Chains A and B, each alone.
Chain A
């Protein structure tokens, strides 16, 4: 039977990502798979004028994702699944694809619409691009 052993879910705190998490947790339970999440801080200021601007934005994003990931971990724990989280800065697609390559995930679960900023959007829809570039099976949850 076809199965998934390592699942990655992209989490950005949006409603779409929450739906994706619910499905990913369900799949992890069904296949007894490892489940990880990745959150990408893609809205740090580019071309900053002071280091402080970046540092403070990073602190703010870290605080945001701490909260989001805490809720996600608690949700997964309630379902009897251990969720391992990772937060990185950068471009959402690039970082997610690199992480999949690095950790050899066999399924990526993403929400249909995240909260991608304009800077990210100029590169195209995140879910579309991830579906095209991810080196594993991709599930887009609507």
Chain B
């Protein structure tokens, strides 16, 4: 397929996705995946090496952003609760999904591992959007849920790196190089921002991209995957990004405008509707396994720490989107799962973004008055997430 034609169609799909996203108030990622499904199933759109590379880099950039959105202070504050809830929220669905796929559905060991990872995730972004809407970001329950999401994300990133790791001496180079880069980056970032920041040519963003390319390269030669070090890099640079609003915004603009659409559209292109239809039964079972595992794992602990909102917390911890898609796409690219398994997994991931959120919002929303709100301040950027809480714009 001619590259220019592919670029034209991709450009059109990306543009239409952004229009629909604004009009429907639905995340552009979901619409891009849907556009990819349309492109792949009805327009005969096929991936090319440049799309593969951009999509791969999109996954890395999304992982970096997820790390950078982590709030270390919040994690420290709610360490015990978040470690327990986030840890079990990751472990229970991983083990149950793995067990189902490997022993019942007859998937290969690696494919079952990928399925377990993809369905173990919790989407911080989906959760965060819900918490902003309900005004719970600064309540105890909101903080515990967000901190727990960080832990689950970390678990997923760790597991993905382990799944892809093959031990050879170059893996040591990858590990050692990653540690050095992660250690030095915050120290180097500050002077770069000071001397080169706020210019139209954006040396500071080029520096970040260079680091991400470096991790991708090290991951490749080390026969591993850069996902964990990139997540940790985001984490260690989160303070620098948070204190530089312009840089944070520019990075997001570049990511959402030019890079991440390729990741999500490629994800959608690989979803075969025929396979989804043919495997509808297993799809429903996997959805049930993920939800069931989250309930079994998270609910009892949530009941202990946030008794009045345990069901709500459990449902939010059952959501998934970005890391689920990343895990599935990595699994497909590495040949660990086939097109059929990928189609099923991504569809389940999207269902988990929508169904638990809807149920939580519709039937289990906590009473805000009962939640102890910490602060209500006009146009205040709250905590490290740059959360802007519901505002009392009282102007008298």
Interface, chain A (partner B; CB < 8 A): 42-56, 58-59, 62, 65-66, 69, 73, 82-91, 102, 117-120
Residue in A55, A65, A119, A120 with the greatest tally of chain B CB atoms within 10 Å: A55
The smallest C-beta distance from A100 to any residue of chain B, in angstroms, reads 14
A111 to B379, CA, bound (A): 26
Q: Which of B28, B62, B379, B391 contacts A86 (CB 8 A)?
A: B391
Within 8 A of A (CB), among B72-120: none
Contacts of B24 in A (CB 8 A): 117-119
Q: Check A52–B357 contact: CB distance below 8 A.
A: no
> Is B249 at the interface (CB under 8 A from chain A)?
yes
| A89-B385 in contact given A48-B129, A49-B27 (Cβ < 8 Å) | no
Contacts of A52 in B (CB 8 A): 65, 69, 248, 252, 255-256
The contact string, 1 if C-beta is below 8 Å from chain A, for chain B 360-390, is 0000000001000000000100000111101
Q: Check A47–B321 contact: CB distance below 8 A.
A: yes
A19 to B391, CA, bound (A): 24
Known: A43-B22, A54-B128, A62-B388. 16 other contacts (CB 8 A): A43-B25, A44-B129, A45-B129, A48-B129, A49-B28, A49-B123, A50-B125, A50-B256, A54-B129, A55-B388, A84-B395, A84-B396, A89-B132, A89-B390, A118-B23, A119-B24
Residue in B66, B135, B379, B395 with the greatest tally of chain A CB atoms within 10 Å: B395
A45 to B132, CA, bound (A): 11
Q: Check A50–B322 contact: CB distance below 8 A.
A: yes
Q: Check B125–A51 contact: CB distance below 8 A.
A: yes
Interface of chain A: mostly helix, strand, loop or mixed: mixed
Within 8 A of A (CB), among B221-270: 248-249, 252, 255-256, 260, 264
Interface of chain B: mostly helix, strand, loop or mixed: helix
Contacts of A89 in B (CB 8 A): 132-133, 135, 390
Contacts of B385 in A (CB 8 A): 51, 55
Q: Chain B contact residues (Cβ within 8 angstroms of A): what range?
A: 35 or more
Q: Check B29–A56 contact: CB distance below 8 A.
A: no
The smallest C-beta distance from A52 to any residue of chain B, in angstroms, reads 4
Q: Check B391–A47 contact: CB distance below 8 A.
A: no
Q: Check A44–B69 contact: CB distance below 8 A.
A: no
> Is B192 at the interface (CB under 8 A from chain A)?
no
Q: Check B25–A117 contact: CB distance below 8 A.
A: yes
Residue in A50, A69, A86, A120 with the greatest tally of chain B CB atoms within 10 Å: A50
> Is B354 at the interface (CB under 8 A from chain A)?
yes
Q: Check A48–B393 contact: CB distance below 8 A.
A: no
The contact string, 1 if C-beta is below 8 Å from chain A, for chain B 14-38, is 0000000111111111100000000
The smallest C-beta distance from A14 to any residue of chain B, in angstroms, reads 16
Q: Which B residue's beta carbon lies closest to that of A36?
A: B394
Q: Check A58–B264 contact: CB distance below 8 A.
A: no
Q: Which B residue's beta carbon lies closest to that of A84?
A: B394
Q: Which of A48, A58, A82, A118 contacts B125 (CB 8 A)?
A: A48
Contacts of A44 in B (CB 8 A): 25, 129, 132-133
